[in-house]
Structure 1
Amino acid sequence: MGPDLTVPPIYSPILPAIHPSHAAIDARTTAWAEAFGIGSEELRSRLVRHDIGTFAARVLPEGREEVVSLLGDFVLWLFGVDDGYCEEGEIGRRPGELVAVLHRLLRVAQNPEVPMLQSDPLARGLRDLRMRIDRYGTAGQAARWVDALREYFFSVAWEADHRRAGTVPDLNDYTLMRLYDGATSVVLPLLEMGHGFELQPHERDQAPVRAAAEMASFIITWDNDIFSHHKESRGTDYFLNVLRVLQQEYGLDQDQALTTAVAQRDRVMCLFLRLHDELAVTASPQLRRYLHSLANFIRGAQDWGISSMRYTTPDDPALLPSTFSNAPTDDSEEPLDIPVVAWWWDLLQPTAAPLGESIHPWDNRPDRASALT
């Protein structure tokens, strides 16, 4: 266990928002976890205190309430897998066995009518989630959700191999793995479902839109690593976190690694803002809504990260901020020295709007106040 880490207010130009029915949504997610018996009794008792339904209400503050509840239940289910199988269970150190278990769950997600794992709580919960995906989404969205779930399962098996060996990957590999094992990509189809539309492939699959989604995943997972470091470092088990990766990669101490991680996510946040502005100029209303939802996803994860008992750990308080910063620590337009994501910086047009001329309505920096009118 290292010394306490004081996390400074991080740069967040996106305005906070929450669904008006957040309390009811959070209560329903708790009831859903109990009804399906997600995780062990001890794990479930922890998860239902983490305001996971409230997190979903922050991600989809204007979404259809039934889809917001679906998102809350799904995120809790993901924690049941991640905490129960991967991080706290013995199978999380046996990647071959973990792959076998996850592959069976994937079959349930693909074909919920298949008579397998019928007494397994996670499988029963997954069947319910898939049926609700079908109810509120399209066949294409359901297929993308299953594909993203496969990517998530693949990445946590990769992480399990490091856990088994006690090794720390290099920064490039960690970044690639983190784009998927944070389960952010599995949420993306629900952003569309929450607003009752399906983004057309000619928009969703173009490189800049894919990059915007990856940038959101990078920011969310870097923030999560920063906010969760206290909790993870207090345990006796192996943990993998960007601060550990940076310490190994560059020979930094803990505080230097924190400063570096904050600068990295700040630089990506600035890029996300610029790319958002550029895409919005010619985007369809659906694509604008999708980009807006990515922003809500980023800010919702931030607000939840500094307030949920999952990370504040009141019995051993984490030194987390209670506010956010209006200014980045790094606004360089140079790519990060991480090859798997450096291509993001190639996507901006030379005429991209400068930072003072934003066209999005959710930026709260003083120099962008005119964008709110």
Structure 2
Amino acid sequence: MPPVYDADAHPSRIGWRLPPFYCPFERELIHPKAAELEERAVAWIDSFGLYPNATERAWGLATRSAEFTSRIIPYGDVEPMLLFTQWNYWAFATDDWQDSDHSLAARTAAVADHGARLVRTVETPGAGLLPPGPHTDALEDLVARTRAVLTPFQLRRFTEGIRDWVFGAACQTANAERGGMPGLNDFAAMRMAANGTRFTLTWCDVANGIDVPADVLYSAPVQALTDAAGFIVSCDNDLFSYNKDDHQEPWEQNLLNVLASRDGCTPAEALPAAFALRDRAMTLFVRLREQLGRGAGEQLGRYLVQLEQWIAGDTEYHNRAPRYASPRNRNALPAAEASFDIVWSDTPSDPSVEPLPVPALAWWWQQLDGSSR
């Protein structure tokens, strides 16, 4: 069913029908045990009383974190997928806290302080850095179980992913305090961090049993491909979440608002430019992925497929999640069957293979060898 919003809700700046999504990968995959993951994750949430009342619980469950996990990891081991799902429910609650109505004068300080305490809690369990309550109790349970499951290298990657997420959130709130919209280059440079790219991919690796050697995983071409995937996913998040956040003042730091500010147009008029950026990043991803695949060992080859599944699964997840298709700023409660009913495309909206005119991202194209240019 189409997106849901109250009859008297304020109109959308961009409308509710998004342009076609270019995605040349296998689509609409989902793990066969998605329902089991949801049931077990919700039982965990309720055991800690993570939400203070039925309304907050309904909106928390509207994130559909189990479906997110099941779509981006369609063939993984259920137990680490469950732990990742629980982390996502917890992270969504934290993200919503960061977006809540704190006084702007304290927001950056609050996000940075809370983030530092979070990271140290993961690194040093039992440090007692966070206030007592259900949220902290749930976090400490997650940390203990995570440390029991991950290898030291995986735990280090996971912690770096949390640092990325906190760092990106702090940069965004600092921009909000200054009262201006960042330029495209500044915005793009930080967007993959704020989206939790490495936080997510660590769990994808664990659930899929992927172990790419460090010197391969952290090589420039593989990191460029990872960042490109994170950028595409971040663009999709900005497109699907736009109507959820369009009540905020000042305007949300979202790709459409950044482009509208740059080009002196409306957010609706910025939609083609946003999809062009996304699709040119996707074209780069496809070319670089094919290049890396030609000489890939087993583990890297599986990692490349995993990145494709993340992109395609994330888009389909956003298409269906009530958090986005029946947003809270227009509905008293989420609508379970709401969907954007997106259309897929096998060709990019912008066919150019030239590097994006974004200096912070241009290095991705430098990783292409002569046969891929």
TM-score (norm 1): 0.88
CA RMSD in angstroms, aligned pairs only: 2.2
Q: Does 1:346 align with 2:366?
A: yes
Q: Distance in 2 between the 1:34 and 1:96 partners?
A: 31
Q: Distance in 2 between the 1:243 and 1:4 partners?
A: 9
Q: Aligned to 1:3, which of 2, 5, 13?
A: 13
Letter in 2 for 1:330: D
Q: Aligned to 1:126, which of 135, 139, 161?
A: 139
Contact 2:212 2:299 in 1 (8 A): yes
Moved more, 293-302 or 116-125: 116-125
User: Which consecutive unaligned segments of at least 5 residues does structure 2 have?
Assistant: 1-10
Larger RCO (CA within 8 A; separation ≥ 6): 2
Match of 1:324 in 2: 344
Equivalent position SS for 1:352: coil
Match of 1:140 in 2: 153
CA positional deviation for 1:235: 5.1
Q: Does 1:23 align with 2:35?
A: yes
The share of aligned pairs that are identical, in percent, is: 31
Contact 1:91 1:97 in 2 (8 A): no
Match of 1:182 in 2: 195
User: Per the alignment, do residues 118 and 66 of structure 1 end up closer, same or farther by CA in structure 2, a change over 3 Å counting?
Assistant: farther
Letter in 2 for 1:342: A
User: Per the alignment, do residues 125 and 71 of structure 1 end up closer, same or farther by CA in structure 2, a change over 3 Å counting?
Assistant: same
User: Per the alignment, do residues 232 and 146 of structure 1 end up closer, same or farther by CA in structure 2, a change over 3 Å counting?
Assistant: same
Letter in 1 for 2:119: L
Contact 2:319 2:325 in 1 (8 A): yes
Equivalent position SS for 2:268: helix
Q: Any residues of structure 2 matched to 1:39-118 within 5 Å, and which?
A: 40-41=52-53, 42-84=55-97, 86-90=98-102, 94-117=107-130
Letter in 2 for 1:47: G
Q: How many residues align?
A: 352
TM-score (norm 2): 0.88
Moved more, 244-253 or 233-242: 233-242
1:210-257 Cα offsets, whole Å, 9 max, x none, are 011101110001011011111211456742211000011122222221
User: Per the alignment, do residues 4 and 263 of structure 1 end up closer, same or farther by CA in structure 2, a change over 3 Å counting?
Assistant: closer
User: Per the alignment, do residues 328 and 321 of structure 1 end up closer, same or farther by CA in structure 2, a change over 3 Å counting?
Assistant: farther
Letter in 2 for 1:10: F
User: Which consecutive unaligned segments of at least 5 residues does structure 1 have?
Assistant: 354-373
Moved more, 46-55 or 158-167: 158-167
CA positional deviation for 1:38: 3.1
Q: Aligned to 1:297, which of 310, 319, 344?
A: 310
Letter in 2 for 1:9: P
Q: Distance in 2 between the 1:239 and 1:46 partners?
A: 20
Contact 2:225 2:285 in 1 (8 A): yes
CA positional deviation for 1:332: 1.2
Q: Does 1:210 align with 2:223?
A: yes
Match of 2:4 in 1: none
Q: Aligned to 1:37, which of 42, 49, 64?
A: 49
Match of 1:12 in 2: 23
Q: Distance in 1 between the 2:131 and 2:108 partners?
A: 23
Contact 1:4 1:319 in 2 (8 A): no
Contact 1:15 1:299 in 2 (8 A): yes
CA positional deviation for 1:39: 5.1
